[in-house]
């Protein structure tokens, strides 16, 4: 009878191991030793004491799966992917803020130069009206009409 229980528990552990490593992970569980023992309905202490070879096999297969395909737990893989995406978006946001700051500085400089040019034009027009020694040149339309 104890051998049947032992074999039954080991077969449940192996079935749970295959299920977890295949990516079929029930809600609330992860791809780890604790979830393996919960899914197989074997106490974790029993797993550590009686089935260390099953635990070691699970850890080896989990490590191999992570090396080969990334992460067997789709939620953890999604978390890793989302973290990378957030990092990428933060970098993009930082670059966009910097570009906006540069554009704002350029706008301020351009407006300052335009205001300075406008003031210079106004000053030159006033100087033109004050002096009587400046002659007005004919407009091209008049030159064409005169010919």
Look-up of token digits 């339309």:
141
Of the candidates 81, 76, 65, the residue with the CA atom closest to the CA atom of residue 25: 76
Helices (H) and strands (E) in the chain, counts: 6, 0
Chain segment 76-92, per-residue pLDDT in tens: 777 888 999 999 999 99
Residue 75 pLDDT > 70: yes
In this prediction, residue 31 carries a pLDDT of 82
In this prediction, residue 79 carries a pLDDT of 83
Chain segment 7-46, per-residue pLDDT in tens: 788 889 889 888 888 877 888 888 888 888 998 899 989 8
Residue 147 pLDDT > 80: no
Read off the tokens for 70: 């990334």
User: pLDDT class for 70, splitting at 50, 70, 90?
Assistant: low
Q: Classify residue 26 by its DSSP letter.
A: -
Q: Taking the domains of the chain in order of start, what are their residue ranges?
A: 2-72, 73-132
Tell me how far apart the alpha carbons of residues 50 and 47 are, in angstroms, rounded to a whole number: 6
In this prediction, residue 21 carries a pLDDT of 82
Q: Which of 9-13, 63-67, 98-102, 133-137 has the lowest mean pLDDT?
A: 133-137
DSSP labels, 78-142: HHHHHHHHHHHHHHHHHHHHHHHHHHHHHHHHHHHHHHHHHHHHHHHHHHHHH-S-PPPPPPHHH
Residue 57 pLDDT > 80: yes
Query: Model-level pTM?
Result: 0.48
């Amino acid at each position: 009878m104890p051998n049947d229980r032992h074999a039954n528990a080991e077969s449940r552990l192996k079935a749970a191991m295959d299920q977890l490593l295949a990516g079929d992970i029930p809600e609330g569980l992860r791809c780890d030793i604790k979830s393996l023992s919960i899914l197989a309905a074997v106490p974790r202490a029993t797993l550590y004491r009686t089935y260390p070879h099953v635990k070691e096999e699970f850890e080896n297969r989990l490590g191999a799966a992570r090396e080969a395909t990334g992460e067997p737990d789709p939620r953890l893989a999604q978390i890793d992917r989302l973290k990378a995406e957030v990092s990428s978006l933060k970098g993009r946001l930082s670059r966009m803020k910097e570009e906006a700051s540069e554009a704002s500085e350029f706008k301020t400089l351009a407006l300052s130069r335009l205001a300075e040019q406008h003031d210079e034009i106004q000053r030159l027009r006033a100087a033109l009206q004050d002096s009587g020694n400046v002659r007005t040149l004919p407009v091209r339309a008049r030159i064409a009409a005169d010919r």
